[in-house]
Amino acid sequence: MMYRTHTCGELRLSDAGKTVTLSGWVQRLRNLGGMTFIDLRDRYGITQLVVNNEDNNALSRQVKELGREYVVQVTGKVAERSSKNTKIPTGEIEILLDSCKVLNSADLPPFTIEDETDGGEELRMKYRYLDLRRNPARKALELRHKMALEVRKYLSDQNFIEIETPILMKSTPEGARDFVVPSRLNPGQFYALPQSPQVFKQLLMVAGYDRYFQIVKCFRDEDFRADRQPEFTQIDCEMSFVDQEDVLKTFEGLTKHLFKSVRNIDITGDFPRMSYADAMKYYGTDKPDIRFEMRFVDITEVASGKGFRVFDDAEYTGAICAGNCAKYSRKELDQLTDFVKRPQIGAKGLVYVKYNEDGTFKTSVDKFFGEDDFKQWCEMCNAKPGDLLLILAGNKNKTLTALGELRLEMGNRLGLRDKNKFAPLWVVDFPLLEWDEETQRYYAMHHPFTSPKEEDIELLDSDPGAVRANAYDLVINGVEIGGGSIRIHNDVLQQKMFKVLGFTEEEAESQFGFLMNAFKYGAPPHGGVAFGFDRWVSLFAGMDSIREVIAFPKNNAGRDIMNDAPSPISKEQLDELMIELKGEAKKRVL
């Protein structure tokens, strides 16, 4: 028996007269003027089936029994439709049914399988296999497939080869907690799941595979943060005999190729570059959305000394010109004040200056400042009559971050963050190290294998915080799409880096001895990058969450709510691993 001669998205007017067999799911059933219409759906589309109830009584009785999402096999003749549906490719035809066989019945789905479904995310994820029948989900996975294919095509053409690296490995620090896997054969010992294949790709460079890539799962056991998944996919790449310029050029090429082949967008010219220092100074973030300007202007100096305590005491006072918004009402300004006062943003208040169309000013600080001050601030911000200045003040880092959030909020309000406009940017010259107040030590801003800029190496001892790294991020529309660095390839410098990071010689040896050892056998200069594949797909799909572009994602608490993982294991399994649970966890044994 042949289940189908065609798919449900395939038949056209030119097929009229053919007898065909289709298999698929019942999307919808309608009874209209003596006819029963059925929409039959599969991955490829929807085809309308029709039964004339008078001509074909037995069959019409049979199809009336069908329910939504039943799986059926039907045979009939392709005919031209009298009322055509121009919205779907099969809309000019319908199938006049001869027979219908139920291959499987279906319970009523817990939400409608439609583009605009009535199911909330929780429900959709619990029944993800039903959710995936919906067009938006299917399109997202198709887009994901196409992107993976284009990545492989482009990089293979550039002589990169895809090499798999282990999932069960020794821990490599990428700044997150490891997921660990107990070893039954080596009781008391654990594998770590890779936070990324970082060390393996570097070892592949030592091995002479000068252009490597891999579309690969990575695992990071992080506390909840929006738009993160404990397992996620990277396009991981590494190259030998390259400097930063070579890497940026190569992956600018990949990025342009993906834009063109997947979204049919030509991105011409070189991607702009911005130093980390400028990104922080002008946008308050290391991933600026440069679809719009609205740069910060530092008015700390000129705004202090006039008796306004908030500005006088501030380490930093920054302004943005929020466009043509002097007409904002009290209510709109109050909303913005509430926005910056949210605990996640943490500003104490918001100062505004309305530069009215008639050249006068209306501000929230009239008591302390005069027209000359407002004029000066407006000039510094390039504001025109009709514009609105928004000003935040306080601790420098916190204020920069808060002003960054306010800038994005204004971008949203002013419609400056169009999902169909793309603005890629390289952020470069990251600091090598980041000081942590809590633990009173330096951490690698990127990871411990990132090389310092040649000219800054001598600062490693005297002023480690000032050392800049050969590290770069690709940012598109304010989303960090990827990041990488030129690596240290010399065992002495690598050892020194571990020391700066507070590793004892023994710790460095036991954790990374294999890498430093490899560097003794002719390690070429090398560097690379990794892109967050899920994020890139969601950016191209215009989706807000990466969960929508992952077939079976975890929820915000890291749980798979469909199959209820993680879950307890049996006493026998634990015994085999020689693991005993402690405290509360004890109750969880199966």
The answer to the question of residue 484 lying near ligand ASP (CB under 6 A) is yes
CB of 241 to ligand ASP, least distance (A): 16
- For residue 175, the SS3 value is coil
The answer to the question of residue 427 lying near ligand ASP (CB under 6 A) is no
The answer to the question of residue 448 lying near ligand ASP (CB under 6 A) is no
Which candidate, 109, 107, 88, places its Cα nearest to that of 40?
88
The answer to the question of residue 530 lying near ligand ASP (CB under 6 A) is yes
The answer to the question of residue 528 lying near ligand ASP (CB under 6 A) is yes
Nearer to ligand ASP, 237 or 280 (CB): 237
Structure tokens at 431: 């600091």
Nearer to ligand ASP, 310 or 529 (CB): 529
- For residue 350, the SS3 value is coil
Nearer to ligand ASP, 528 or 553 (CB): 528
Residue 283 has φ and ψ, to the nearest 5°, of -130, -10
Nearer to ligand ASP, 254 or 406 (CB): 254
Report the C-alpha gap between 581 and 421 in whole angstroms. 52
User: Which distant-in-sequence residues (6+ apart) come within 8 Å of 77 by Cβ?
Assistant: 17, 18, 19, 20, 95, 96, 98
Which candidate, 450, 458, 453, places its Cα nearest to that of 429?
453
Stretch that binds ligand ASP, among 209-217, 320-328, 517-525, 528-536 (CB under 6 A): 528-536
Give the dihedral of Cα atoms 14, 20, 23, 29; nearest 10 deg: 70
* Beta partners for residue 321, in sequence order: 389
CB of 566 to ligand ASP, least distance (A): 24
Stretch that binds ligand ASP, among 90-98, 352-360, 374-382, 522-530 (CB under 6 A): 522-530
Nearer to ligand ASP, 353 or 471 (CB): 471
Nearer to ligand ASP, 126 or 535 (CB): 535
Report the C-alpha gap between 5 and 3 in whole angstroms. 7
176, 221 Cβ separation under 8 angstroms: yes
Nearer to ligand ASP, 48 or 165 (CB): 165
Stretch that binds ligand ASP, among 88-96, 139-147, 483-491, 492-500 (CB under 6 A): 483-491
CB of 82 to ligand ASP, least distance (A): 58
Please report the beta strands in 280-387, taking only residues with DSSP state E, as ranges in sequence order.
297-298, 316-321, 351-355, 361-363
Nearer to ligand ASP, 217 or 375 (CB): 217
Nearer to ligand ASP, 41 or 447 (CB): 447
DSSP state, residue 221: B
Nearer to ligand ASP, 400 or 530 (CB): 530
- Residues that bind ligand ASP (rule: CB under 6 A) add up to a total of 9
CB of 449 to ligand ASP, least distance (A): 7
Nearer to ligand ASP, 174 or 373 (CB): 174
The answer to the question of residue 36 lying near ligand ASP (CB under 6 A) is no
CB of 144 to ligand ASP, least distance (A): 19
47, 73, 485, 538: residue in contact with ligand ASP (rule CB under 6 A): 485
273-275 and 316-321 strand pairing = unpaired
Nearer to ligand ASP, 237 or 326 (CB): 237
Quick one: 279 exposed, middle or buried, by C-beta within 10 A (0-12, 13-18, 19+)? Answer: buried
User: Which distant-in-sequence residues (6+ apart) come within 8 Å of 440 by Cβ?
Assistant: none
CB of 271 to ligand ASP, least distance (A): 18
Report the C-alpha gap between 93 and 85 in whole angstroms. 9
Report the C-alpha gap between 299 and 318 in whole angstroms. 6
CB of 450 to ligand ASP, least distance (A): 7
The answer to the question of residue 119 lying near ligand ASP (CB under 6 A) is no
CB of 204 to ligand ASP, least distance (A): 12
- For residue 334, the SS3 value is helix
CB of 489 to ligand ASP, least distance (A): 14
End-to-end CA distance of the chain: 46
Report the C-alpha gap between 20 and 12 in whole angstroms. 12
CB of 154 to ligand ASP, least distance (A): 18
The answer to the question of residue 198 lying near ligand ASP (CB under 6 A) is yes
CB of 205 to ligand ASP, least distance (A): 11
The most distant pair of C-alpha atoms in the chain lies apart, rounded to whole Å, by 93
557, 151 Cβ separation under 8 angstroms: no
Report the C-alpha gap between 515 and 206 in whole angstroms. 10
CB of 145 to ligand ASP, least distance (A): 23
199, 218 Cβ separation under 8 angstroms: no
Which candidate, 478, 474, 336, 326, places its Cα nearest to that of 417?
478
Report the C-alpha gap between 292 and 117 in whole angstroms. 34
CB of 487 to ligand ASP, least distance (A): 8
Stretch that binds ligand ASP, among 54-62, 113-121, 250-258, 525-533 (CB under 6 A): 525-533
Quick one: 102 exposed, middle or buried, by C-beta within 10 A (0-12, 13-18, 19+)? Answer: middle
Stretch that binds ligand ASP, among 17-25, 222-230, 400-408, 526-534 (CB under 6 A): 526-534
* Beta partners for residue 221, in sequence order: 177
Structure tokens at 111: 């939400």
- Interactions with ligand ASP, residue window 164-193 (CB under 6 A): 174
Residue showing tokens 């419609």? 415
The answer to the question of residue 196 lying near ligand ASP (CB under 6 A) is yes
Nearer to ligand ASP, 198 or 250 (CB): 198
CB of 483 to ligand ASP, least distance (A): 5
Nearer to ligand ASP, 198 or 214 (CB): 198
* Contact residues: ligand ASP, CB under 6 A: 174, 196, 198, 483-485, 528-530
